[in-house]
Amino acid sequence: MSDVTSGEQIPLPCPACSPDIETVHEVLKPGGHVTVRCLACDHVHKAQLPAETTHQRDVVVSQEDESFTAQVDVPEDEELSVGEEFLLETDEAVLTARITSLETDDGRTEDAHVDDVETIWSRAVGNVAVNVTMHPKDGRHDETESFKLQVPGDYEFTVGATEQFGDEEFTVEGIHVRDDAHGYEHEKLDFDGDMVFAKDISRLLVRDESSTAWSAW
Residue 139 shares a structural domain with residue 204: yes
Domain final position from 124, 152, 171: 124
Question: What string of pLDDT tens digits covers the 217 residues of the chain?
Answer: 456 788 888 889 999 999 988 899 999 998 878 999 999 999 999 988 877 788 999 999 998 888 999 999 998 889 999 999 999 988 878 899 999 999 999 999 999 999 999 999 999 999 999 999 999 987 666 678 999 999 999 999 999 999 999 888 999 999 999 988 988 989 999 999 999 999 999 999 999 998 654 444 3
Last-in-domain residue among 98, 124, 150: 124
Q: In this structure, are 72 and 120 located in the same domain? A: yes
Q: Are residues 82 and 154 in the same domain?
A: no
Indicate if 154 and 204 belong to the same structural domain: yes
Q: Do 43 and 110 fall within a single domain?
A: no
Range of the domain at 114: 54-124
SS3 sequence, the chain?
Answer: CCCCCCCCEEEEEECCCEEEEEEEEEEEECCCEEEEEECCCCCEEEEECCCCCEEEEEEEEEECCEEEEEEEEEECCCEEECCCEEEEECCCCEEEEEEEEEEECCEEECEEEHHHEEEEEEEECCEEEEEEEEECCCCCCCCCEEEEEEEECCCEEECCCEEEECCEEEEEEEEEECCCCCCCCCCEECCCCCEEEHHHEEEEEEEECCCCCCCCC
The verdict on 120 and 132 lying in the same domain is no
Q: How many domains does the chain have?
A: 3
Q: Output the pTM of the full model.
A: 0.71
